[in-house]
């Protein structure tokens, strides 16, 4: 007997959250990525068929809305203090003496909890009756920025607690980038010619302050929770007990914490992890030491800056010297050509280092790095190896390094804009660019080719089946069925290389389906530098065909609203490369749609031109994207936050603080019925 949709939705949500915990919190997955994705897609389909079953705490609602214009400021329920630091064992023991003296304990040992110090961004999360309703950065400790939309994208953070307390509570922790995510993100920034993040702390802070939740979701942030702030007694008497309780609620609590009876046990813990920290999947720069007894904490109190009951023991920085054997260059997806150092292998921070980043040609020149030099290296944030400086004098007979004039892979001439430091290969079909370009081409917001992931892309390139985007449309199901694909980052040791089989046929079906995509998706998928989703949609809507886009002079491109000189010049540069034109022609011959399916832009302003709308809550009959599209089609602008410039606030079910702010400012609010009437009236031209 088929289950009712309500029952199936509940089962799917429980299963998805269970597997999110196994993977993101316990690091012990029970199913493959593909099986997890099937569960999530099944839930998405059910909620699409039954919008009344969609709720704000559903796993499908982690990423919602469009980029915001800025962050509101929120006040913390209590001060978020910083931690004082100690740098050696003597200073750690001096901290213990201050604690015992302040508590009047004499020589009686104090119980502490020692935790890994996560190198990330402090965060405060608010739960109301077990549901996540807010997330804020530390800010100045009194007020922080409201980053709720970004927090919801972090899969380690539950949208609803398991058997959590009623009422309103706040938990605090650290948002960070796991090492794998940090390395991947810096590779992407290097490819794009953007400056690299120096360490995970900067990376997490930069990501959380990004105004686009969808981009935040792609970067792979994680989180650990270590403190509970409640407005009522939850019967906890110790920090160890609180950590255990929070983990039982489904919150991500870092598992290596230890209750230590006395400072000697704390010292032993710090020594142990100074050696073992490289075995962790995240970056840590020390150990946080906290008094376990919560009542004792109250007696000890805090200074104006730091709690007296906690401190941070910092691990010493690690550097090494070695020989710079040669300087090579790497070509990324966007064509950015960046130098890197090939080193005489040396042990550093628990691993053998044989390569290090050099950022760009100007960085090499500024440091005057030469092949054969002895150099000082360090791990930025204990993750990214980098060359700090050359140890003079230079190697005998050495000469300053020069960036090559041609791409080392396809031999196309390298170019550099006058206002940039990055050299680029403009050949889209360059093999070095191909792998990452194909991943972008298949991405959900581009051509949306489900199943064409990194492992399959690697095999297609290695087997010589795909040399550019157009080759994808020549693939046959029979070619992919027997293709063996190994997972790039297996979720468990049980993962093994496998034949694609039916999955291969499904990928070919997805490729065929992608031919019908709107022109805007194709423009974005081509990876034209500086052309994001919005610019691609604008170009497609304005010029209507790919031929017209590629034929448009810079002046015509730049005359389009929201297309500036940088984007216009980039599109023209792409179109002027003969191999890019040939690629587009082959895509067209393969049957890929080259026309816009969006309504033609009107010469007249829409009936809602000049109006600013803010959407809050859940609409039963429309998704947030559909409501936004309807408003923009009528000339309105949709903003993320309420201000004095807001014309209307559309309030669905479970409307949040935006509705309260609208009422405070006297801004007109519309329920779903009134909003639909306004849209219908505007569409009729009334």
352 closest CA partner among 360, 362, 344, 340: 344
* φ, ψ of residue 655 in degrees (nearest 5): -60, 145
Three-class SS state of 345:
strand
Question: Whole-angstrom distance between the N-terminal and C-terminal Cα of the chain?
Answer: 50
173 closest CA partner among 266, 249, 89, 259: 249
Instruction: Compute the distance between CA of residue 359 and CA of residue 340 in angstroms, rounded to an integer.
Output: 7
The structure tokens listed for 429 are 């079909």
Residue whose pair of structure tokens reads 């690697």 in the numeric block: 458
The structure tokens listed for 295 are 């009542």
User: Is residue 13 within 8 Å of residue 43, measured between CB atoms?
Assistant: yes
658 labelled catalytic: no
User: Is residue 637 within 8 Å of residue 561, measured between CB atoms?
Assistant: no
Instruction: Compute the distance between CA of residue 568 and CA of residue 558 in angstroms, rounded to an integer.
Output: 5
Q: In what order do the strands lie in the sheet with 168-176?
A: 131-137, 121-128, 168-176, 222-230
314 closest CA partner among 288, 291, 290, 292: 288
Please, what is the Cα angle at 274 between 271 and 278, to 5 degrees? 145
Instruction: Compute the distance between CA of residue 480 and CA of residue 10 in angstroms, rounded to an integer.
Output: 36
Given the residues 3, 93, 101, 117, the one annotated as active site: 117
Instruction: Compute the distance between CA of residue 380 and CA of residue 232 in angstroms, rounded to an integer.
Output: 42
Instruction: Classify strands 612-616 and 637-639 as parallel, antiparallel or unpaired.
Output: parallel
User: Is residue 522 within 8 Å of residue 592, measured between CB atoms?
Assistant: yes
Tally Cβ neighbours within 10 Å of residue 21. Answer: 19
Whole-angstrom CA distances from 487 to 457, 493, 499, 646 are 11, 11, 11, 48
Instruction: Compute the distance between CA of residue 562 and CA of residue 559 in angstroms, rounded to an integer.
Output: 9
Q: How many Cα atoms are found within 13 Å in the side-chain-facing hemisphere of 343? A: 27
Q: Is 346 left (phi over 0), alpha (psi -120 to 50) or beta?
A: beta
Enumerate the active-site residues.
117
């Amino acid at each position: 007997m088929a289950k009712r949709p309500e029952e199936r939705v509940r089962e799917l949500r429980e299963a998805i959250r269970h597997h999110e915990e196994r993977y993101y919190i316990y690091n012990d997955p029970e199913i493959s990525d593909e099986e997890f994705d099937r569960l999530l897609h099944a839930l998405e389909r059910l909620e699409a068929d039954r919008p009344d079953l969609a709720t704000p705490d559903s796993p499908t609602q982690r990423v919602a809305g469009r980029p915001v214009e800025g962050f509101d400021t929120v006040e913390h329920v209590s001060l978020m203090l910083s931690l004082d630091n100690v740098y050696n064992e003597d200073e750690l023991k001096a901290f213990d003496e201050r604690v015992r003296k302040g508590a009047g304990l004499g020589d009686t040992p104090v119980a502490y909890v020692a935790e890994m110090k996560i190198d990330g961004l402090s965060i405060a999360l608010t739960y109301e009756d077990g549901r996540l309703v807010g997330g804020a950065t530390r800010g100045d400790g009194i007020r922080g920025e409201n980053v709720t939309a970004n927090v919801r994208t972090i899969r380690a953070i539950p949208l609803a607690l398991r058997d959590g307390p009623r009422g309103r509570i706040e938990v605090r922790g650290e948002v960070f980038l796991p090492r794998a995510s940090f390395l991947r993100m810096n590779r992407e920034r290097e490819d794009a010619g953007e400056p690299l993040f120096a360490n995970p702390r900067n990376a997490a802070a930069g990501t959380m302050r990004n105004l686009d939740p969808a981009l935040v979701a792609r970067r792979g942030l994680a989180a650990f929770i270590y403190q509970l702030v409640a407005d009522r007694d939850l019967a906890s008497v110790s920090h160890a007990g609180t950590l255990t309780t929070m983990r039982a609620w489904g919150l991500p609590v870092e598992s290596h914490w230890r209750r230590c009876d006395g400072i000697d046990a704390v010292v032993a813990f710090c020594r142990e992890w100074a050696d073992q920290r490289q075995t962790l999947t995240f970056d840590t720069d020390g150990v946080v030491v906290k008094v376990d007894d919560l009542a004792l904490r109250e007696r000890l109190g805090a200074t104006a800056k730091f709690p007296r009951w906690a401190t941070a023991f910092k691990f010493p920085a690690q550097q090494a010297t070695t020989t710079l054997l040669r300087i090579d260059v790497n070509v990324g997806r966007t064509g950015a050509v960046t130098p890197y150092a090939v080193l005489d292998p040396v042990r550093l921070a628990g691993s053998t280092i044989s390569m290090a980043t050099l950022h760009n040609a100007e960085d090499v020149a500024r440091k005057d790095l030469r092949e054969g030099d002895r150099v000082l290296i360090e791990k930025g944030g204990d993750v990214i190896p980098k060359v700090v400086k050359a140890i003079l004098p230079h190697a005998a007979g050495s000469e300053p390094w020069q960036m090559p004039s041609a791409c080392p892979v396809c031999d196309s001439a390298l170019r550099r804009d006058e206002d940039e430091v990055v050299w680029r290969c403009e050949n889209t079909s360059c093999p070095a660019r191909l792998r990452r370009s194909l991943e972008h081409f298949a991405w959900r917001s581009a051509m949306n080719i489900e199943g064409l992931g990194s492992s399959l892309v690697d095999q297609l390139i290695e087997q010589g089946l795909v040399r550019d985007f157009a080759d994808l449309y020549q693939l046959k199901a029979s070619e992919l069925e027997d293709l063996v694909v190994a997972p790039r980052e297996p979720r468990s040791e049980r993962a093994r290389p496998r034949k694609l089989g039916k999955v291969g046929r499904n990928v070919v079906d997805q490729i065929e389906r992608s031919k019908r995509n709107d022109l805007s998706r194709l423009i974005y998928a081509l990876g034209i530098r500086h052309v994001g989703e919005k610019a691609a949609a604008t170009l497609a809507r304005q010029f209507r065909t790919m031929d017209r886009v590629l034929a448009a002079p810079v002046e015509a491109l730049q005359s389009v609203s929201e297309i500036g000189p940088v984007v216009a010049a980039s599109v023209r540069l792409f179109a002027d490369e003969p191999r890019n034109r040939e690629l587009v022609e082959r895509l067209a011959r393969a049957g890929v749609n080259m026309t816009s399916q969006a309504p033609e832009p009107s010469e007249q302003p829409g009936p809602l031109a000049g109006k600013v709308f803010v959407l809050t809550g859940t609409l039963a009959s429309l998704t947030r994207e559909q409501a936004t599209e309807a408003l923009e089609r009528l000339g309105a602008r949709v903003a993320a936050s309420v201000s004095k410039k807001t014309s209307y606030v559309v309030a669905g079910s479970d409307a949040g603080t935006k509705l309260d702010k609208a009422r405070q400012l006297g801004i007109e609010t519309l329920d779903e019925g009134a909003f639909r009437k306004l849209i219908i009236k505007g569409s009729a031209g009334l």
